């Protein structure tokens, strides 16, 4: 019955993760979590100070998972710049083997608050990582912009809102139509010739969040 604090904590987080995914944050009661983990009320509140505290811990976990592998790839200067951008972005969807599921279930309409918090992590965490790569690209004469950070911020804000979110309800065709337009716009922002970033299409390959 008795476990190390960290172990219990993670059990609780695992249960919450799954339940929030199924029923949303508001739709999940602490009792649901209690039952799933097989502990008593007091135990839950021994490890977490509130229900929202559980969510925050969960987000902290996501944060690490999602941005961690992205950072790692971004810092590998052996990979050519273009390739590295693609890999960083694609890492977001599958990082830790379950990034995609994370992103999937965050998009449940019930999870407004969690969703917002994750978005915040991404919009603040991803642009710095990408900007570093872009700067390298600028040095190499691949890109040209006086505002690499703000460029990345704009791009991330857009993909977060339009591609990742259910903010804009896109049919498959609408979605497909957005992609070349998006790439065209990115090309302009980065000051490169039209068509030269078409290789980025592959980032939107299957299902293609981000």
**Contact positions vs DNA (CB under 7 A):** 1-5, 8, 28-31, 38-43, 45-47, 49-52
- Decide whether 48 or 163 has the Cβ nearer to DNA: 48
Interaction site with a copy of itself (CB under 8 A): 112-113, 115-116, 119-120, 123-124, 146-147, 149-151, 153-154, 157-158, 160-162, 167-168, 178, 181-182, 184-185, 188-189, 191
Q: Virtual CA dihedral for 53, 55, 61, 64, nearest 10 degrees?
A: -90
- Decide whether 57 or 179 has the Cβ nearer to a copy of itself: 179
Query: Shortest approach of DNA to residue 6 CB, angstroms?
Result: 8
Query: Shortest approach of DNA to residue 59 CB, angstroms?
Result: 16
- Decide whether 4 or 169 has the Cβ nearer to a copy of itself: 169
The label of the residue with tokens 């992205």 reads 70
Q: How many CB atoms lie within 10 A of CB 130?
A: 22
Contact 18, 60 (CB under 8 A): no
| Residue 195 interface partner, choices DNA, a copy of itself, none, CB cut-off 5-8 Å depending on type | none
Contact 85, 140 (CB under 8 A): no
Q: Which two tokens stand for residue 102?
A: 């994370």
Q: Round to the nearest angstrom and report the end-to-end CA distance of the chain.
A: 42
Interatomic CA distance for residues 147 and 179, integer angstroms: 23
- Decide whether 48 or 182 has the Cβ nearer to a copy of itself: 182
Interatomic CA distance for residues 99 and 94, integer angstroms: 5
Query: Shortest approach of a copy of itself to residue 4 CB, angstroms?
Result: 34
């Amino acid at each position: 019955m008795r476990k190390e604090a960290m172990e219990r904590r993670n059990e609780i987080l695992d249960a919450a993760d799954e339940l929030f995914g199924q029923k949303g944050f508001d739709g999940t009661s602490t009792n649901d979590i209690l039952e799933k983990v097989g502990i008593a009320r007091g135990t839950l509140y021994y490890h977490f100070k509130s229900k929202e505290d559980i969510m925050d811990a969960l987000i902290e976990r996501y944060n690490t998972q999602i941005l961690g592998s992205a950072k790692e790839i971004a810092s590998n200067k052996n990979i050519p710049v273009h390739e590295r951008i693609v890999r960083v972005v694609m890492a977001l969807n599958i990082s830790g083997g379950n990034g995609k599921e994370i992103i999937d279930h965050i998009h449940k309409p019930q999870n407004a608050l969690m969703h917002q918090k994750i978005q915040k992590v991404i919009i603040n965490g991803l642009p710095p990582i990408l900007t570093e790569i872009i700067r390298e690209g600028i040095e190499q004469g691949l890109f040209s912009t006086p505002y690499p950070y703000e460029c990345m911020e704009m791009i991330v804000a857009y993909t977060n809102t339009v591609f990742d979110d259910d903010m804009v309800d896109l049919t498959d065709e609408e979605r497909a139509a957005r992609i070349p337009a998006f790439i065209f716009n990115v090309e302009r922002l980065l000051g490169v010739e039209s068509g030269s970033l078409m290789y980025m299409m592959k980032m939107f390959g299957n299902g293609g969040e981000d």
